[in-house]
């Protein structure tokens, strides 16, 4: 990744000049009862009944359903983005903002700046929401970092930077620098790019040890996957130490699909007077992701179920999650021995290997990616139609890890597309965990018999 410093090219953005109000907080209420056309109603019923969501038209219908996370009453024009940013957004194929985008953006762009702690379901466009806010706040005339965005993993930092690069295609003077493993700055020099996207350790080093930028100039601080940043020991220390270096007035933006009560309290303490956008528990899982479980006796049995699914469904692409690297490796060996082309991404690969595996999977060279929790969050690959939990996500004390479950299954069903999540369960403890997950999210997880042709047909029909 030599050329990781990206010049996010073209014309300038006059940030911070828009005088936004917070009227958006109530913006959806007046349109709540807007009547749908009969054809839209019947399509909606079909969606609710079958979970079949495929076309752009379906997404447009979801935009009109007040219960959908894609619901929006505004256009991007009404969000008063800079025309050059707007051009970039439309060029990315975004026709209208999602619910989180139309709610968060006016708050994030209002003056004086205010802090925001935002929750929205996986794949509903949080990244675009905070990236647009970051880009809008930059003063392109100033050649030093003004925005810091922290991601929990290398892959996610790169993905976020790539979204920013695309969105700012027509903003030539805004530039971004990645602060991730393998990236270096010449000793004694200063970073000139206005935006830093990176992982907490590297950003902290650059700010304190090497003094590559002055944290006092930072006016926007974004924590993507905020809950894990606040909740994981290493990330927490580093994120807080960075926060302490920033000016009191620095605008804080926290985004995630999940927050525990503790994390929410903590976030509120470090980002005082925040506006909070939260979901109800039953809103956290997406209806467009159908959830199943398969009864298995042991890991060999799980492997057989997997092969049945693989053979029985014309899947787009699948991500398979294992709890340990060891299990992931075992599964990769099993599958390759039996002639299946699969990719493996786990934490011990080098960063170059990780990016190359992900690129290859993104390009569709492998249909199956076997991984661990390292890829459970944020990764956005549109063609992933099935997520399989080879192992259920559990904590070290073998309690259900609800948040990881939600993030893992959220790798499919991106932005209103349909998706399937299949849990392979063996033994009574697995069953108990699955039951708890089902009850926690108040969403049914149906039994699937992979040896039964009817069941497999049902699955195939939803593919
Ligand atoms: N307004 C929009 N119109 C069309 N597509 C969009 C829009 N906003 C985002 N998308 C697309 O939706 C997909 C999911 O968006 P994104 O990755 O931002 O979701 P997220 O909420 O950050 O997900 P996660 O919780 O998994 O991190 C992406 O492929 C993105 O390009």
Q: Locate the ligand 1 atom nearest the alpha carbon of residue 124 and give its number.
A: 21
Q: Do 267 and 396 fall within a single domain?
A: no
Residue 286 has a pLDDT of 87
The answer to whether position 127 is within a domain reads yes
| Domain boundary, last residue among 257, 279, 301 | 279
Say yes or no: CB of residue 413 within 6 Å of ligand 1. no
Q: Separation of 127 CA from ligand 1 center, angstroms?
A: 6
Tokens for 229, please give them: 């940043």
Q: Separation of 98 CA from ligand 1 center, angstroms?
A: 9
The answer to whether position 141 is within a domain reads yes
Q: Do 288 and 272 fall within a single domain?
A: no
Taking CA atoms only, the protein residue closest to ligand 1 atom 27 is: 378
The answer to whether position 27 is within a domain reads no
Q: What is the pTM of this model?
A: 0.83
Q: Which whole-number Å values give the CA distances from 170 to 78, 149, 167, 202, 433, in the listed order?
A: 19, 21, 8, 29, 49
Contacts of 139 by beta carbon, 8 Å cutoff, 6+ apart: 15, 16, 146, 194
What is the 3-class SS of 266-314, one letter each residue? HHHHHCCCCEEECCCHHHCCCCCEEEEEEEECCHHHHHHHHHHHHHHCC
Tens digit of each residue's pLDDT (9 = 90 or more) over 297-309: 999 999 999 998 8
Q: Do 446 and 310 fall within a single domain?
A: yes
Q: Locate the ligand 1 atom nearest the alpha carbon of residue 76 and give its number.
A: 1
Q: Which helix (H) or strand (E) holds 165?
A: helix 154-167
Say yes or no: CB of residue 152 within 6 Å of ligand 1. no
Residue 133 has a pLDDT of 97
The answer to whether position 344 is within a domain reads yes
Q: Do 68 and 211 fall within a single domain?
A: yes
Tens digit of each residue's pLDDT (9 = 90 or more) over 111-165: 999 999 999 999 999 999 999 999 999 999 999 999 999 999 999 999 999 999 9
Say yes or no: CB of residue 300 within 6 Å of ligand 1. no
Q: Do 200 and 233 fall within a single domain?
A: yes
Q: Locate the ligand 1 atom nearest the alpha carbon of residue 256 and give its number.
A: 25
108: containing domain: 46-279
What is the rounded CA–CA span in Å between residue 200 and residue 242? Answer: 8
Q: Do 361 and 247 fall within a single domain?
A: no
What is the rounded CA–CA span in Å between residue 258 and residue 281? Answer: 10
Q: Do 162 and 288 fall within a single domain?
A: no
Q: Do 270 and 176 fall within a single domain?
A: yes
| Domain boundary, last residue among 228, 250, 279 | 279
Taking CA atoms only, the protein residue closest to ligand 1 atom 8 is: 125
Say yes or no: CB of residue 79 within 6 Å of ligand 1. no
Q: What is the CATH number of the domain that holds 417?
A: 3.40.50.300
Say yes or no: CB of residue 94 within 6 Å of ligand 1. yes
Residue 256 sits at φ, ψ, to 5 deg, of -165, 165
Q: Do 270 and 365 fall within a single domain?
A: no
Q: Separation of 123 CA from ligand 1 center, angstroms?
A: 5
Please count the other Cβ atoms lying within 10 Å of the Cβ belonging to residue 79: 23
Answer whether residue 33 shows pLDDT above 80. no
Average pLDDT over residues 79-99: 93
Q: Which whole-number Å values give the CA distances from 174 to 5, 99, 140, 211, in the listed order?
A: 12, 27, 5, 21
The answer to whether position 13 is within a domain reads no
Q: Do 240 and 309 fall within a single domain?
A: no
Q: Do 347 and 413 fall within a single domain?
A: yes
The answer to whether position 4 is within a domain reads no
ipTM: 0.99
Q: Please, are residues 99 and 277 in contact by the beta-carbon 8 Å criterion?
A: no
Rg (CA), the chain: 22
Task: Summarize the chain as % helix, strand, coil (round to 5).
Answer: 45, 15, 40
The answer to whether position 266 is within a domain reads yes
In total, how many domains does the chain have?
A: 2
| Domain boundary, last residue among 279, 310, 339 | 279
Q: Separation of 348 CA from ligand 1 center, angstroms?
A: 28
The answer to whether position 440 is within a domain reads yes
Q: Do 297 and 264 fall within a single domain?
A: no
Q: Locate the ligand 1 atom nearest the alpha carbon of residue 411 and give its number.
A: 26
Could you give the angle at which helices 402-409 and 427-441 cross, rounded to 10 degrees? 80
What is the band of 265 on the pLDDT scale with cuts at 50, 70, 90?
A: confident
Q: Separation of 86 CA from ligand 1 center, angstroms?
A: 16
Q: How many CA atoms lie within 13 A of 245 on its CB side?
A: 22
């Amino acid at each position: 990744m030599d050329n990781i410093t990206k010049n996010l090219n073209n014309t300038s953005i006059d940030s911070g000049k828009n005088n936004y109000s917070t009227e958006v907080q109530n913006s959806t209420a007046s349109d709540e009862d807007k009547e749908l056309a009969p054809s839209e109603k019947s399509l909606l019923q079909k969606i609710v009944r079958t979970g079949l969501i495929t076309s752009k038209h379906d997404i447009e219908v979801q935009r009109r359903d007040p219960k959908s996370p894609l619901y929006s009453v505004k256009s991007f024009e009404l969000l008063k983005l800079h025309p050059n940013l707007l051009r970039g957004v439309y060029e990315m194929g975004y026709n209208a903002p999602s619910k989180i985008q139309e709610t968060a953006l006016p708050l994030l762009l209002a003056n004086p700046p205010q802090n925001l702690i935002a929750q929205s379901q996986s794949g509903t466009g949080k990244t675009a929401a905070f990236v647009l806010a970051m880009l809008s706040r930059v003063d392109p005339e100033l050649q030093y970092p003004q925005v810091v965005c922290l991601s929990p993993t290398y892959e996610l930092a790169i993905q976020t930077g790539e979204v920013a690069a695309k969105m700012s295609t027509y903003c030539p003077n805004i530039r971004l620098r990645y602060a991730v493993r393998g990236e270096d700055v010449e000793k004694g020099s200063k970073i000139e790019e206005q935006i830093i996207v990176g992982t907490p350790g590297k950003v902290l080093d650059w700010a304190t040890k090497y003094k590559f930028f002055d944290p006092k100039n930072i006016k926007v601080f974004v924590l993507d996957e905020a809950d894990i940043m606040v909740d994981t020991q290493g990330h927490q220390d580093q994120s807080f130490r960075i926060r302490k270096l920033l000016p009191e007035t620095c605008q804080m933006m926290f985004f995630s699909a999940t927050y525990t009560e503790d994390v929410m309290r903590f976030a509120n303490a470090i980002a005082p007077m925040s506006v909070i956008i939260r979901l109800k528990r039953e809103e956290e899982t997406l209806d467009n992701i159908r959830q199943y479980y398969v009864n298995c006796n042991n890991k060999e049995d799980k492997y057989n179920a997997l092969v049945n699914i693989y053979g029985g469904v014309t899947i787009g692409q699948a991500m398979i999650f294992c709890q340990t690297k060891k299990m992931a490796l075992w599964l990769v060996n099993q599958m390759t021995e039996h002639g299946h082309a699969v990719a493996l991404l786990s934490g011990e690969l080098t960063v170059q290997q990780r990016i190359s595996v992900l690129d290859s999977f993104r390009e569709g060279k492998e249909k199956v990616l076997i991984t661990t929790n390292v890829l459970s969050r944020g990764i956005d690959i549109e063609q992933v139609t099935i997520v399989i939990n080879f192992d259920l996500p559990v904590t070290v004390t073998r309690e259900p890890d609800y948040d990881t479950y939600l993030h893992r299954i959220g790798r499919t069903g991106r932005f209103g597309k349909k998706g399937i999540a299949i849990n392979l369960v063996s033994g009574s403890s697995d069953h108990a965990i699955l039951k708890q997950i089902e009850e926690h999210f108040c969403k049914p997880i149906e039994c699937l018999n992979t040896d039964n042709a009817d069941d497999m047909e049902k699955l195939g029909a939803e593919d």
